[in-house]
Amino acid sequence: MTFAGSMALSAVIPSAGLSSRMHQFKPLLKFGELTMLEVVIRLFQDCGIQDILVVTGHNHALLEPIIQKAGARPVFNQAFETGMLGSIQKGAALVSRSSQGFFLLPVDIPAIRPSTIHTLVSAFKKARENIIIPEFNQTPGHPPLIPIRLIPEIISMDPDSNLGELLLSQKDCLVRQKVHDQGSLLDADTKEAYCALANRYQRMDIPNKEECRSIIQSVIPGETAIQSHLAIVAEVAKKLARAVEKGLNSKSCIQPICLDKNLIQAAALLHDIKRKGKNHARTASLFLENLGFPRVAGIVAEHMNIELGDRITEKEIVYFADKICNGSKVEPDYSKRFTDKIKEVPGAKTRIFQRYEDTQQIQTRIEALTGQSIQTILR
């Protein structure tokens, strides 16, 4: 994906510190098969940003070959021990003259989604003199997108100054851009934080509960009825998933099934976020795909009309949970709902009846796998 398009942008990645709180050299810590440094470089490259400067200091000889191999530019800050501002100034001074702005992202904030960069770029394109700061749950985070006009002022800042204060003081040209990315607030300052971020990085394609709430509040603010329905469907889906998993694994299966409960939770919480519009399942699916959540989008796309597989998966769990939740109430005896729906929309009888049959089939499978009735599971 190339989000930057024809607009020239740069990225400055401060990576000069001692990692004193971590007691390990942060830029070279692993995130899957890549180092933290490579992850941050690749984030910008995947978004179409090629002018990437990595400011080094401590262990610069170790980093420079990695930076060059990754396709970025190393910049050595000899006075790295004086603090991050000096490294930012070094990087900003060498930003390409053709760039209209630059992202600033310390190397220890690696779990940012490409869709977040896309959102910031889109906001910047509307007014390229503005500073764009991502905000998650009303808290400003990283990476800010800084217009090129501020570089002389940044370079001339006193060593004891704070860049954050400078950016936030530009009230007339400061845009706080809402993002649904908790990673914008998370750094790897300690071993515990690093482990949490490494785990998060492996599951970036699934929004966590806080991120789901952020999306819900942004897309359907004030829609309490829909929000209550989403919450109850998520709760029911969680109970069903636990029961199915327990039932499967108690039967000494050759390949025990492990349902992805985070995926189920996200799809259940977000399945009706476009309920107010036409063809809401497809619309919501496309919306979530663009946010970088393809697996969630796939389940949401089928929450109205499902293509049943030969076993119970996450999509069957979410589909069934949705069908037995009427508004904010759980109704395991759902036959009357379908009958009433056919009377209400007789022209859709065939489609509605198919949904009813699919719901029955999923119920039969769940009860066979768990050895319990739906009513007992949900008790």
Structure confidence by residue, pLDDT tens digits, 210-260: 999 999 999 999 999 999 999 999 999 999 999 998 876 665 554 556 899
Q: Which residues contact 340 (CB under 8 A, 6 or more apart)?
A: none
Which of these, 303, 117, 40, lies nearest to 54 by C-alpha position? 40
3-state helix, strand, coil in the chain (%, to 5): 55, 10, 35
pLDDT range class, residue 107, cuts 50, 70, 90? very high
Residues 123 and 59: their CA atoms lie apart, in Å, by: 36
Q: What is the CATH number of domain 10-201?
A: 3.90.550.10
Chain centroid, CA 206 distance in Å: 6
Weakest mean pLDDT among 12-26, 220-234, 269-283: 12-26
- What are the CA-CA distances from residue 167 to residues 90, 122, 142, 160, 163 (Å)? 18, 19, 12, 15, 6
pLDDT range class, residue 18, cuts 50, 70, 90? confident
Which of these, 4, 163, 8, lies nearest to 101 by C-alpha position? 8
Residue in the structure block whose two tokens are 């940044």: 154
CATH 1.10.3210-classified regions of the chain: 209-378
Domain range 209-378, CATH class: mainly alpha
pLDDT of residue 135: 97
Percent of the chain with pLDDT strictly greater than 90 = 83
Give residue 177's identity as a one-letter amino acid code: Q
State pTM to two decimals.
0.91
pLDDT of residue 1: 36
CATH 3.90.550.10-classified regions of the chain: 10-201
Pairing of strands 10-15, 101-104: parallel
